């Protein structure tokens, strides 16, 4: 079966537009509550976290209503990073964790993503079964068995202790001046506090959420202000999180931005040298740069590639016994410490390397020279299937032929937005531009036809 509601990371869309409506959230809550409460005996719990979007209030209440209607007791965490939900699901011995967030998307969007009792995101099969329950409808619990809701006030403090515990106990950040951009999102309180507790001089950016400014001109997808702040304040390093703090970009002291591939290269080499890299390989997606693959090979480290989405990275890590993986976009997963991508934790491990090595951020954030990579997006309307168009297929075939032996081409439909993503890698800049543009033009023609 094909999932209709769920994308690569839960259900996502524009707030108050299908499927992200209060009515649908209530139905989703009831369906997922029934799915995880198939055994009617005992106490059943679900933890719900959210980022700082205005619509989060609406979806928090709707999900709570749906879940309690099936007998689930709801524990409300408030605004927290996504990895906090994975942690608290296990810590609270809950049956289910829910994060209300559209990650790096603009404020008008929102999403709902789920964690199982083990703190890991749900499988495709579980999502298919939940969708079937949504379509069929569920029988509510009897009046005497309706669930309760309770606020948990110390979730981000518990999360902070877990993040700090991933570093050696004697490691401090004294003397480091750190810019941290929280994207006006779920990490706006936790991240600056944790850095301060470890001894860093903290310069916060994006820590004044108003419900509308999440990811707006800030965060991991728009790091310009943070980069300028690093330079103007003479900071040693910058850490840019996204709206739910599960991804990170690092900025060196010159204001240069390093993506997730560079951070994964650094951590993989370091862990390999220390005998800590399980399975002798890093897990990354098809989007990671060819330069990363060459770098790892040169250090005797394997690379396992997966489909795009940190959920698929984690699934491969668990299946193969690997403990380090992630995405070029900045999701870094360290399963020795967390069940999902954690931008702050990954950023702290980069800071730990600065302390350990005594090298500046610029020396650590450029582990390899990336192969030139070009990514362009084409937006399409609901119901359109531009990749099925004969002209698009012909353009893709021609581009692949042109790149044979010189680079690679990747075409995919975004799992979080109505976009066709066209990406190519090639050391010939002219060929790179021509091949990407040829496919982009064909997709645009199909969309406008």
Per the domain annotation, does 423 fall within a domain? yes
Residue 440 maps to which CATH number?
Answer: 3.30.310.50
- Condensed to tens digits (0 to 9), the pLDDT of residues 165-182 reads 999 999 999 999 999 999
Domain shared by 27 and 129, yes or no: yes
Position 39 scores a pLDDT of 61
Per-residue pLDDT averaged across 135-152, rounded? 94
**143 shares its domain with 36:** yes
So what's the pLDDT on residue 40? 60
Residue 412 belongs to a domain: yes
| Residues contacting residue 390 through CB under 8 Å, at least 6 positions apart | none
In a domain, 247, yes or no: yes
Q: Are residues 16 and 149 in the same domain?
A: yes
Domain that holds residue 186: 158-254
Cα torsion at 138, 23, 79, 94 (round to 10°)?
A: 0
Count the neighbouring beta carbons within 10 Å of the beta carbon of residue 1. Answer: 10
Q: Which of 55, 69, 103, 272 is catalytic?
A: 103
pLDDT tens, residue by residue, 329-363 = 999 999 999 999 999 999 999 999 999 999 999 99
What pLDDT is stored for residue 417 in this prediction? 80
The stretches of 165-219 forming alpha helices (DSSP H) are 190-197
List pLDDT tens digits, range 59-91: 999 999 999 999 999 999 999 999 999 999 999
pLDDT at 7 over 90: no
- Say if residues 410 and 404 touch (Cβ distance below 8 Å): no
Look at residue 318 and tell me if it is in a domain: yes
Q: Which of 40-44, 270-274, 316-320, 386-390 has the lowest mean pLDDT?
A: 40-44
Q: Give the per-residue pLDDT at 5.
A: 87
Which of 222, 254, 286 is the endpoint of a domain?
254
**At residue 1, does pLDDT exceed 60?**
no
Confidence of residue 109 (pLDDT cuts 50, 70, 90): very high
Report the b/e string of 367-393 with b at 16+ CB within 10 A.
bbebbbbbebebebeeebebeebeebe
> Would the pLDDT of 41 be above 70?
no
| Whole-angstrom distance, CA of residue 310 vs CA of residue 180 | 23
Tell me whether residue 353 is in a domain: yes
Q: What is the pLDDT of residue 38?
A: 64
- DSSP state letter for 42: S
pLDDT at 312 over 60: yes
Do residue 128 and residue 226 come from a single domain?
no
Say what the pLDDT of residue 88 is: 97
CA torsion sign for 361, 367, 372, 377 is negative
> What integer best gives the mean pLDDT of the chain?
95
pLDDT bracket for residue 37 (50, 70, 90): confident
Determine, yes or no, domain membership for 2: no
Of 254, 276, 300, the one marking the end of a domain is 254
Residues sharing a CB contact under 8 Å with residue 380, sequence separation 6 or more, in sequence order: 386, 418, 419, 420, 443, 447
Structural contact between residues 87 and 157, judged by C-beta atoms closer than 8 angstroms: no
Mean pLDDT of 388-392: 94
Residue 274 shares a structural domain with residue 393: no
Same domain, 15 and 148: yes
Give the per-residue pLDDT at 236. Answer: 98
* Nearest residue to 252 via CA among 130, 352, 134, 350: 350
Q: Distance of alpha carbon 425 from its chain centroid, rounded?
A: 23
Percent of the chain with pLDDT over 90: 92
Q: Is residue 22 assigned to a domain?
A: yes
Does one domain contain both 244 and 352? no
Together in a domain, 249 and 267? no
Is the predicted pLDDT of residue 402 greater than 70, yes or no?
Answer: yes
pTM for this entry: 0.90
Note the pLDDT of residue 108: 98
Same domain, 300 and 358: yes
**Residues 241 and 269 placed together within one structural domain of the fold:** no
Is the pLDDT score of 221 beyond 60?
A: yes
Structure tokens at 403: 């790149």
Chain centroid to CA 390: 34
Residue with tokens 């790892």: 296
My answer on whether 149 and 163 are in the same domain is no
Domain count, the chain: 4
Does residue 245 surpass a pLDDT of 60?
yes
| Residue 60's CATH number | 3.40.120.10
Instruction: Work out the percent of the chain whose per-residue pLDDT is above 70.
Output: 98
166 is catalytic: no
Residues 367-381: pLDDT tens digits? 999 999 999 999 999
Query: Helices 155-164 and 190-197 meet at what angle, rounded to 10?
Result: 40
The token pair at 130 is 């939940």
- Of the pLDDT bands very low, low, confident and very high (cuts 50, 70, 90), residue 234 is very high
- 131 occurs within a structural domain: yes
**208 compared with 405, residue with greater pLDDT:** 208
Last residue of a domain, one of 364, 396, 416: 364
Tokens of residue 311, six digits: 């959920």
401 and 351 together in one domain? no
- Which single residue is written with the structure tokens 């943070």? 226
If DSSP codes are grouped into helix, strand and coil, which group holds residue 198?
coil
Distances (CA, A) of 289 to 15, 63, 220, 232, 399: 34, 39, 18, 31, 19
Q: How far is CA 346 from the centre of its chain?
A: 12
């Amino acid at each position: 079966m094909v999932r209709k509601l769920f994308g690569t990371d839960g259900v996502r869309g524009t707030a108050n537009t299908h499927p992200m409506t209060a009515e649908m959230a209530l139905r989703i809550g009831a369906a997922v509550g029934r799915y995880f409460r198939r055994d009617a005996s005992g106490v059943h719990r679900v933890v719900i976290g959210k980022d700082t979007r205005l619509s989060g209030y609406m979806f928090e209440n709707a999900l709570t209503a749906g879940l309690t209607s099936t007998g689930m007791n709801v524990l409300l965490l408030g605004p927290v990073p996504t990895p906090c939900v994975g942690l608290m699901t296990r810590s609270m011995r809950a049956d289910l964790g829910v994060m209300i967030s559209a990650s790096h998307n603009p404020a008008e969007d929102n999403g709902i993503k789920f964690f199982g009792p083990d703190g890991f995101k749900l499988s495709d099969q579980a999502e298919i079964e939940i969708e079937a329950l949504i379509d069929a409808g569920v029988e509510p619990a009897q009046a005497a068995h309706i669930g309760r809701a309770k606020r948990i006030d110390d979730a981000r403090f518990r999360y902070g202790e877990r993040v700090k515990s991933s570093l050696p106990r004697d490691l401090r950040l004294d003397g480091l001046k750190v810019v941290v951009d929280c994207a006006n999102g779920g990490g706006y309180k936790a991240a600056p506090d944790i850095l301060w507790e470890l001894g860093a001089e903290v310069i916060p950016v994006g820590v004044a959420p108003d419900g509308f400014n999440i990811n707006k001109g800030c965060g991991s997808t728009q790091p310009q202000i943070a980069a300028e702040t690093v330079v103007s304040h003479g900071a040693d390093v910058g850490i840019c999180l996204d709206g739910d703090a599960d991804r990170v970009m690092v900025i060196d002291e010159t204001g240069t931005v390093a993506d997730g591939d560079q951070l994964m290269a650094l951590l993989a080499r370091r862990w390999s040298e220390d005998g800590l890299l399980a399975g002798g390989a890093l897990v990354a997606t098809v989007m990671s740069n060819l330069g990363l693959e060459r770098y790892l090979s040169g250090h005797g480290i394997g690379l396992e590639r997966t489909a795009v989405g940190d959920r698929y990275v984690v699934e491969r890590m668990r299946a193969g016994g690997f403990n380090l993986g992630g995405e070029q976009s900045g999701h870094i997963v360290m399963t020795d410490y967390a069940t999902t991508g954690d931008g702050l934790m990954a950023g702290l491990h980069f800071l730990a390397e600065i302390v350990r090595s005594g090298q500046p951020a610029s020396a650590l954030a450029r582990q390899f020279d990336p192969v030139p990579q070009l990514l362009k997006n084409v937006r399409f309307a609901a119901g359109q299937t531009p990749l099925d168009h004969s002209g698009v297929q012909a353009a893709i075939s021609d581009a692949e032929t042109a790149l044979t032996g010189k680079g690679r081409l990747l075409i995919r439909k975004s799992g979080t937005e109505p976009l066709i993503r066209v990406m190519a890698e090639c050391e010939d800049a002219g060929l790179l531009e021509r091949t990407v543009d040829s496919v982009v033009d064909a997709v645009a023609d199909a969309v406008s036809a």
